[in-house]
């Protein structure tokens, strides 16, 4: 009898991982596919093939995307707040 391992099986940059957590399986797979895509894009532009370096650079790029999105959201919220204040006056 084969015992299945817990977690959601995903493949990122040719390596298989089992992700445990509360998130929906399809969501986890989409996130993993996004990371895989970003790593593959970076590996095509990179001179070095070191997986750890590609992973770190990918993490930095994704963190940059996150910070930019947060900054845009904050600007939009400030703009909305000012607009609501103008309407309330």
For residue 35, pLDDT over 80 is answered with: yes
- Whose tokens are 């989409």? That residue is 30
Contacts of 9 (CB under 8 A, 6+ apart): 16, 17, 18
pLDDT band at 48 (very low <50, low <70, confident <90, very high): confident
Tell me: pLDDT of 15 over 90.
yes
pTM value is 0.82
Question: In the chain, where are the structural domains located?
Answer: 8-88
Of the two residues 86 and 1, the one the predictor is more confident about is 86
């Amino acid at each position: 009898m084969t015992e299945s391992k817990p977690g959601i099986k995903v493949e990122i940059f040719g390596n298989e991982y089992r992700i445990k957590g509360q998130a929906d399986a399809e969501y986890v797979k989409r996130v993993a596919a996004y990371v895989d895509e970003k790593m593959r894009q970076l590996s095509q532009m990179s001179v070095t093939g070191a997986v750890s370096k590609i992973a770190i650079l990918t993490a930095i790029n994704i963190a940059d995307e996150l910070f930019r999105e947060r900054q845009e959201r904050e600007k939009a919220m400030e703009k909305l707040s000012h607009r609501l204040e103008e309407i309330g006056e």
